[in-house]
Amino acid sequence: MRKRMNQEDLHFFGLKVVYKDLVDNGFEVLNVRREMDVNPQILARKEDVLYFIVVRTAPYPEMGILLPDVAAKVAHHAMKHKAVCRFGSVGVANAKGDSDEEMGQPEMDGEYFINYKGLMPFPQ
């Protein structure tokens, strides 16, 4: 039996999803922070624009949520660095699950359905 992903595992998985999307879309990734309490998690650059990217990941049927206080702090920090803020919301489902409950329990090294629609602007 495989080990279920805990919150840290889910967070790291979501970071990998967003990182791959960035690289695939021509971003230069400058730094990635795995810690859940560090914001932003990813610093990237594209066409001389600096991006602060916050990533949140949740198990099926949820999606990662950017809390308003985190958005405000990151936006304030980004202004000092003339950076653009973006948010990556990731949802992960256990592809082997036969019920909603089982799908909501992704396992380490398992098979997944990923719900990720790309980077989004920060909520205003």
| Beta strand spans in 69-109 (E) | 84-94
Joined together, the tokens standing for residue 100 give 């909603």
SS3 13: helix
pLDDT reading at 107 higher than 90: yes
If phi > 0 it is left, if psi is from -120 to 50 it is alpha, else beta; for residue 3 that is beta
DSSP state of 5: P
Q: Is the pTM of this model over 0.85?
A: yes
The 10s digit of each residue's pLDDT in 26-74 is 999 999 999 999 999 999 999 999 999 999 999 999 999 999 999 999 9
The domains located in the chain, with CATH, are 7-121 (3.40.1350.10)
Query: What is the Cα–Cα distance from 3 to 20, expressed in whole angstroms?
Result: 24
Q: Label residue 54 exposed, middle or buried (CB < 10 Å: 0-12, 13-18, 19+).
A: buried
